[in-house]
Amino acid sequence: MQQRGVHSPISRRRVPMSSPNRKLSYSLAINEAFHQTMEQDDSVMLIGQGVKSPWYVGNTALGLISRFGEARVIDTPVSENAMTGAAVGAALAGMRPVVVHPRMDFMLYAFDPIINEAANWHYMNGGRLPVPVVVWGVINRAGEQGAQHSQALHAMFAHVPGLKVVMPATPYDAKGLMVAAIRDDNPVVFIDDRWLYNTEEHVPEEIYSVPIGKGIVRRKGKDITVVAVSYLVKEALQAAEILAQDGIEVEVVDPRTIKPLDEELILDSVRKTGRAVIADGGWKSYGVAAEISAVIAENCLSSLKSNIVRVTLPDLPAPASRTLEQAYYPRAAEIVAAVRKALL
């Protein structure tokens, strides 16, 4: 397999990698991960609807087809089952495909190749046959898109044995976790939130990976732990700033990967603070917040000074009204209220 360099044209047009001021948006960080992994490894390919368009999916495909050609950037018909099945087949044949679902709602059409095929092969073949496929789903919250175009289905995939599920909250992690997912020898479901696409931060130009299954403490505190997933990490940090004005020190934990979950990181924080709020952009019942709450209750119940509080979507489909959307999606204010409730 031909190996090449690891720097993309996107990178070279920006500030040199030696500068700490070099910033990329979340979407361009994903784009850079594609450029660098595809340059390094000829088996990496991108499959999906609209990937020929440079602006599609927030510019994440910018420059790929002109650089790597239609054999490795494959625009497909509108058939989620077929394109995902093709990606799984390509992985079984030795490629490292990324198949993109610009609206993860329609990943439901691809349950068979993802869950019945890709997730099971490792177990059915005693670990001898890898399935290095990345199934990339985008959550399209708000924008008056309604119930069928804005669902967050990450808990469904995290329920399935054989699937890893990552949800980066920052540009740095978006690049690093995409690289790690592409390099993984078994299926990874990479889920991002379009609300994050315009966020910017320092992203190193060199290729790097963020370990799957390792979370991070985004802010240290002693009074309460807030475990936040995806876009709610940003909201949790804003909530922590608000609460700090009242002398409340919030520790914000970002799991980065929801399966396998970095349980020890979460438990260490909760044992220290004695209180926990879980913020997840999925539905409340049977969701990721419920799973994290169960992990805490099963492992450090005696450390808790108050009940665990969850901040989630209500158990209702997303509305199409802009006014109702403002009430539907949790933000910093809901996290602030949850923290105050847990501190009573």
Any idea which of 44-58, 183-197, 229-243, 284-298 has the lowest mean pLDDT?
44-58
Cα distances (angstroms) measured from residue 290 to each of 279, 297, 311: 10, 10, 10
Assigned domain for 68 exists: yes
Assigned domain for 1 exists: no
State the DSSP code for 196: G
Assigned domain for 210 exists: no
Assigned domain for 4 exists: no
Supply the range of the domain harboring residue 274: 216-343
Residue 134 and residue 20 share a domain? yes
State the pLDDT at residue 118: 98
Residue 295 and residue 161 share a domain? no
Residue 233 and residue 115 share a domain? no
pLDDT value at 314 more than 90? yes
Q: Up-side HSE of residue 253: CA atoms within 13 Å toward CB? A: 27
Residue 180 and residue 35 share a domain? yes
For residue 120, the domain's CATH number is: 3.40.50.970
pLDDT value at 126 more than 60? yes
Any idea which of 56-60, 66-70, 80-84, 134-138 has the lowest mean pLDDT?
56-60
The pLDDT of 56-71, averaged and rounded, is 93
How big is the chain, counted in residues? 344
Residue 259 and residue 191 share a domain? no
State the pLDDT at residue 5: 41
Across the strands, what pairs with 309? 277
pLDDT value at 128 more than 50? yes
Residue 264 and residue 156 share a domain? no
Distance CA 336, CA 338 (A): 5
With CA atoms as reference, report the closest residue to 10 among 24, 56, 99: 24
Distance CA 298, CA 296 (A): 6
Residue 155 and residue 21 share a domain? yes
pLDDT value at 58 more than 90? no
State the pLDDT at residue 55: 76
**How many domains does the chain fold into?**
2
Residue 321 and residue 195 share a domain? no
Tokens of 85: 């099945």
**Which contiguous run of DSSP H or E holds residue 246?**
none
For residue 331, the domain's CATH number is: 3.40.50.920
State the pLDDT at residue 8: 46
Assigned domain for 190 exists: yes
Residue 128 and residue 18 share a domain? yes
On the question of a cis peptide bond just before residue 97, with omega within 30 degrees of 0, the verdict is no
pTM of the model: 0.93
Residue 220 and residue 191 share a domain? no
**CA-CA-CA-CA torsion for 23, 57, 98, 261, nearest 10 degrees?**
70
pLDDT value at 155 more than 90? yes
Assigned domain for 211 exists: no
Residue 45 and residue 193 share a domain? yes
Residue 247 and residue 162 share a domain? no
Residue where a domain terminates, one of 202, 235, 255: 202
Q: What percent of the chain has pLDDT over 90?
A: 88
Assigned domain for 240 exists: yes
Assigned domain for 48 exists: yes
Residue where a domain terminates, one of 170, 202, 234: 202
pLDDT value at 60 more than 60? yes
Place 7 in a pLDDT band, splitting at 50, 70 and 90: very low
Residue where a domain terminates, one of 154, 179, 202: 202
Place 269 in a pLDDT band, splitting at 50, 70 and 90: very high
With CA atoms as reference, report the closest residue to 254 among 158, 344, 193, 173: 173
Distance CA 71, CA 78 (A): 18
What is the set of active-site residues?
A: 80, 149
